Structure 1
Amino acid sequence: MDPESPSHDDIGEAALTDIELELFVRAMQRRHGYDFSQYAPASLLRRVRQLANSLECGTISGLTSRTLHQPELLPRVLEGLSVPVSDMFRDPRVFRALREQVLPILASYPRIDIWQAGCAHGEEVYSLAILLEEAGLYERSHIFATDLSTRALQHAQEGIYPAREAQQWSRNYIATGGTRSFADYYSVRYNLLKIDKRLRRNVTFAQHNLVSDKVFCEAHLVLCRNVLIYFSNPLQSHALALFRDSLVRGGFLCLGLRESTDFATTAADFDPFDEPQRIYRRSIHPAAGSKA
């Protein structure tokens, strides 16, 4: 053994964890084509550890080995690395602003295309569908709901959730300015809540990777809420550039309440519309150097 080389104890647990995480990220990229290298390290480490525990791998290295040699685990790994946590009408003031300020403007378009990026289990997709239905716009609208995880997409497409959520979701709905009964939009059986199929008829679910995939569609509204907080600053700028290039001039971007365009390289391409609710509008006039 080289006397100059560090021993296990000399390296320390934190350094070993960094090495394990780096090797896992490299394995995911080279074996499966998914690049997590620009995700916020602390958040990524937390999710990788949780995934290693749930799969009983013992260590991150054990998870890496299984990821390399058991490709059938990939859907579960991707689901563990994504953040499929949301609610119907999460942050009701945001959905009230969409209802009262954004949809009346979108109503001027003969067709309305919406991209919900990082749709998780679909709660916000169906929240949007309800807003559009109540505004009389759903028949000429289409929602493209995308996520990295195929398992999350399957869950979203089924539209089945625990019935215990109904009471809170009803309160959220009322806080958005909803005037009907939230129960009109679902049925309950065996303690499960199933979203009415009429809210799914104009929704397309598809896998999409914000890190590596290109523009998904030409949209009048893009929602990507509580996803960018898990990205590094360069990856946030990359995703925001993707949203910019997806939006029509004057189209709307809605982010999570802890997210903004302020420090992104694309900041000049977005104008604040309702900044407290993190709703922006793609500038009518392109910023210098931006894509027309």
Structure 2
Amino acid sequence: MEKIEIDLLLEAIYRCYGYDFRGYALPFIQRRIHHRVRNEKLPSISALQEKILHDPAVMESLFCDFSINVTEMFRDPSFFKVLRTRVFPKIRDKSTIRIWHVGSSTGEEVYSMAILLYEEGLYEKSKIYATDINESNLSKAKKGVFSIDGMQQYTQNYFEAGGKRAFSEYYKAIGEQVVFRPFLQTNVIFAQHNLVTDHTFNEFDIIICRNVLIYFNKELQNKVHQLLYESLSLQGFLGLGKREGIKFTSHGNCYEEIDATEKLYRKNR
């Protein structure tokens, strides 16, 4: 019965608001829906469906529940270190470098990439496209303002990723917040993009899509892999999350493995 209720809720969201969550992994969707049902003090998922159809504010809350906001500067430092040592040397001679950060959330990993490129002398000829389904996340990312509470961890991550300077050079502390230097946004484009319904919009040398695919079912994962494949230049690099991979996908034979631990691949056909 609950599965029927969830299917009807997701169909109603798609028809009424145009957001398509029907291919998301059921356990993830169940957790987020139950959270919203409890917060709204509703008796059932069907009652939530009725409410979101008549109250856009509740739909906005549920949309935020579905958005994936777990991130930090230089998250998984070893991944960024491999980018620095094994990927950047292979693209150094390119006249322009295009990078797509998929599911960029509030921007911490985007600024991490900008710092990495800057320290390797590649930032001036790079363009980073940072996309997310959630406009609220993008608004926060554009500001480049983060809580000072995370800076100790972020600094440690930065040095573990091979950081070459004092991390504090990249931001200014103002009260309980830090503001990152404006030049780190100069070559970044923040834009809304929905992996489920939108298409490719450029050809990229590097695509970072970490910890996004784990929230999708198998069918949707293959659909997104098709989009990523079409968006990546030949010999371009794809970075996935630690619990993700390409081995059992529809495009598993289209890449060579660059680093098995960090889930970094290079398109070879």
Fold shared by both chains (TM-score > 0.5): yes
Q: Give the partner amino acid of 1:274.
A: D
1:107 and 2:92 aligned: yes
Q: 2:144 aligns with which of 130, 145, 159?
A: 159
Unaligned runs of 5+ in 1: 1-14, 287-292
Name the counterpart of 1:199. 184
**Counterparts of 1:132 and 1:61, CA distance in 2:** 49
Q: Which runs of 5+ in 2 are unaligned?
A: none
- The alignment's C-alpha RMSD in Å is 1.4
The one-letter amino acid paired with 2:118 is E
What's the TM-score, normalizing by structure 2? Answer: 0.95
1:78 pairs, out of 63, 68, 74, with: 63
Provide the residue aligned with 1:255 in structure 2.
Answer: 240
Partner of 2:109: 124
- 1:189 aligned partner, one-letter code: I
Does the 8 Å contact 1:79/1:150 carry over to 2?
no
More deviation in 30-39 or 164-173? 30-39
Quick one: which amino acid aligns to residue 248 of structure 1? Answer: S
The corresponding residue for 2:165 is 180
Residue matched to 1:142: 127
- 1:1-292 pair list within 5 angstroms: 15=1, 17-57=2-42, 59-283=44-268, 286=269
Tell me the secondary structure at the aligned position of residue 24 of structure 1.
helix
Listed one character per residue, the Cα deviations across residues 127-157 of structure 1 (whole Å, up to 9, x for unaligned) are 1000001011111111111111111111111
Aligned-partner residue type, residue 246 of structure 1:
S
Q: Quick one: distance in 2 between partners of 1:85 and 1:53?
A: 22
Separation of aligned partners in 2, 1:274 and 1:197:
33
Counterparts of 2:37 and 2:243 in 1: how far apart (Å)?
Answer: 28
CA shift in 2, pair 1:180/1:55, >3 Å = farther
Is the 2:119–2:164 Cα contact (8 Å) retained in structure 1? no
Counterpart contact for 1:75–1:149, Cα < 8 Å:
no
8 Å contact from structure 2 (residues 258, 264) kept in 1: yes
Q: Alpha carbons of 1:114 and 1:55: their partners in 2 closer, same or farther (altered >3 Å)?
A: farther
TM-score, structure 1 normalization? 0.88
Aligned residues between the structures = 269
